[in-house]
Amino acid sequence: MAAIAAFSLMLLLACSPPATSAYQYEGAVAEDGRSPSVWDTFTQAGKMSDKSTGDVAADGYHKYKDDVKLMVDTNLEAYRFSISWSRLIPNGRGAVNPKGLEYYNNLINELVQHGIQVHVMLSHLDFPQVLDDEYAGWLSPKIVEDFTAFADVCFREFGDRVSYWTTIDEPNVSALGSYDNALFAPGRCSNPFGITNCTVGNSTVEPYIAAHNMILAHASATRLYREKYQAAQKGGVGINVYSSWSYPMTNSDVDVEAAKRYLDFVFGWILEPLVSGDYPDVMKKNVGSRLPSFTKSQSQVVKGAVDFIGINHYYSMYVNDRPLDKGTRDYSADMSLYQRASKTIPGSSKNVPSSSQSDPEGLQCVLQYLTKAYGNVPIYVQENGVASNDTLNDTERIEYLKSYMGSTLKAVRNGANVKGYFVWSFLDVFEFFAGPQSRYGLYRVDFNDEARPRQAKLSARWYSGFLKNNGSYVQNELDSTESRALQ
């Protein structure tokens, strides 16, 4: 669940509202006509390390009105959430579920009535299990048509109140977690690349196929919106990518080149086709025939199919060059580098999440890089935050947010085209990596209580004051720091 600030240059950090994703927030997985999603199947099979599920999650399906009241109390001015494809269109295609439609209309209306700007994510690492059963989900080009039809329903039913649409969350991470290392649903991988013993999948090719179809689905939905809805609704369509900055471990030419290669694999994999119509050259070289290619007509549809870029950012990486393995490779091996979360942590060839040191400068670097590399497309920081222990006195979160907001403001002052900032997360939710035990929220949720009561943390009170004062805390601290540096 993330919080967004749709800020101007002068008041960049004036409003930083929240976001959620359907599976992590809603719960009610078997209510009112919702069909199982791939995450239901994954977690109910005991695939999470703590055996938790999102069956109830934060119970947002029943508590959304209470949460909107908390948003108002916290001075939030916008909210980003995702729509459960399984709840809205239970069969993956065809008939719309009236109860699902009613829920999202009620949620949107509640937000609008309280003056809260609505941002919608269409797919947040989740899709109907029926489509995985029928044609293996994102591994089939058939999903492009079904996703576009799903997007069409959302644009038609909600577009009169929604102007900000993000199609797919973190395709660069989703493709890996779902089809390379099996961290995410549907949990496909091949040995030796999975985190557990792999029984189905092919880690050497499936991540690239899945991401390719995600790019095509995004482009198709974007074209539909532009042709059918944009003139009347005046909105825009973007895509989200997971981001981390890369520092060369040494100043050697090969490590500097490795850091550049990291950016091409992390950002360029998804964004380069949307700007140029094709994948980065280094990916085509290292991946070879395992990387799908765009037809001429596909390239024409994909190129330019983005109104804004959303990024999720938490940490930076240090990288060393690594000779390209001549044997069987997955995505991480194709990157041809070692990566670590700090200079003191041993390097790894695996592209998996790790705890890392705070590095606000890395976010500034990402924002400036994206602005320069991808044609000055508007950027939204759609997730940024830090997990903490189960405490209400989360002072470390306050300091983290101050520093990262400051780095965002620095990037804007240096020309980065940033239009919004979201904090992850408004309240504690079911986290895909660690279930309910990983707490990113400004509000605590008691997952041991069936009623899922909310309780403000210290960071929520700080954040409310921060927004009430138009972000002046961070701006004043940044101005003071820059002034001292000039003395």
* 431 catalytically annotated: no
pLDDT of residue 144 exceeding 80, the answer is: yes
Predicted local distance difference test score (pLDDT) of residue 473: 58
The residue to which tokens 């403000």 are assigned? 456
pLDDT confidence of residue 244 = 96
For the residues 432-459, what does the mean pLDDT come to? 96
Q: What is the pLDDT of residue 345?
A: 58
Q: What does pTM read for this prediction?
A: 0.94
Pick the catalytic residue: 26, 77, 272, 383? 383
Average pLDDT, the chain: 92
Residue type, 399: E
Average pLDDT over every residue of 120-126 = 97
Quote the pLDDT of residue 354: 44
The answer to whether 170 and 312 have CB atoms below 8 angstroms apart is yes
Predicted confidence at residue 358, as pLDDT, reads: 87
- 374 CB-near residues (< 8 Å, 6+ apart): 267, 271, 274, 275, 309
Is 206 noted as a catalytic residue in this protein?
A: no
Stretch 298-312: mean pLDDT: 98
pLDDT of 8 higher than 90 = no
Determine the Cα–Cα distance for residues 438 and 432; give it in Å rounded to an integer. Answer: 9
Three-state SS at 218: helix
More confident call, 92 vs 487: 92
User: How many domains, in total, are found in the chain?
Assistant: 1
pLDDT in tens, 354-412: 445 789 999 999 999 999 999 999 999 999 999 999 999 999 999 999 999 999 999 99
The pLDDT of residue 4 is above 50 = no
If you average pLDDT over residues 289-318, what whole number do you get?
Answer: 98
Give whole-number Cα distances, 137 to 84, 92, 116, 224, in Å: 15, 10, 34, 21
Condensed to tens digits (0 to 9), the pLDDT of residues 13-67 reads 544 556 779 999 999 999 999 999 999 999 999 999 999 999 999 999 999 999 9
For 195, the domain range is: 2-486
Give pLDDT, residue 326.
93
Q: Residue 43's domain is classified under what CATH number? A: 3.20.20.80
**pLDDT number for residue 415:** 96
Confidence class of residue 301 from pLDDT cuts 50, 70 and 90?
very high
pLDDT recorded at residue 443:
97
What's the pLDDT tens digit per position in 176-219?
Answer: 999 999 999 999 999 999 998 899 999 999 999 999 999 999 99
Instruction: Please give the average per-residue pLDDT across 427-452, as a whole number.
Output: 95
What torsion, rounded to 10 degrees, do the Cα atoms 223, 229, 231, 237 define?
A: -50
Q: What does residue 72 show for φ and ψ, rounded to 5 degrees?
A: -65, -45
Task: Over range 403-422, report the average pLDDT.
Answer: 94
Confidence (pLDDT) at 202: 98
% pLDDT > 90, the chain: 86
Q: Quick one: pLDDT at residue 341?
A: 85
List 26, 170, 206, 272, catalytic entry: 170
Pairing of strands 78-82, 337-340: unpaired
pLDDT at position 480, please? Answer: 60
At 312-358, the pLDDT tens digits run 999 999 999 999 999 999 999 999 999 998 776 555 445 444 445 78
Beta-bridged to residue 4, according to DSSP, are: 422
State mean pLDDT over 223-231. 99
Give the pLDDT confidence score for residue 467 in this predicted structure: 87
Give start and end residues of each alpha helix (H) in 247-356.
Answer: 253-263, 269-276, 281-287, 296-302, 331-334
For 21-35, 249-263, 412-426, 459-473, which range has the lowest pLDDT when averaged over its residues?
Answer: 459-473
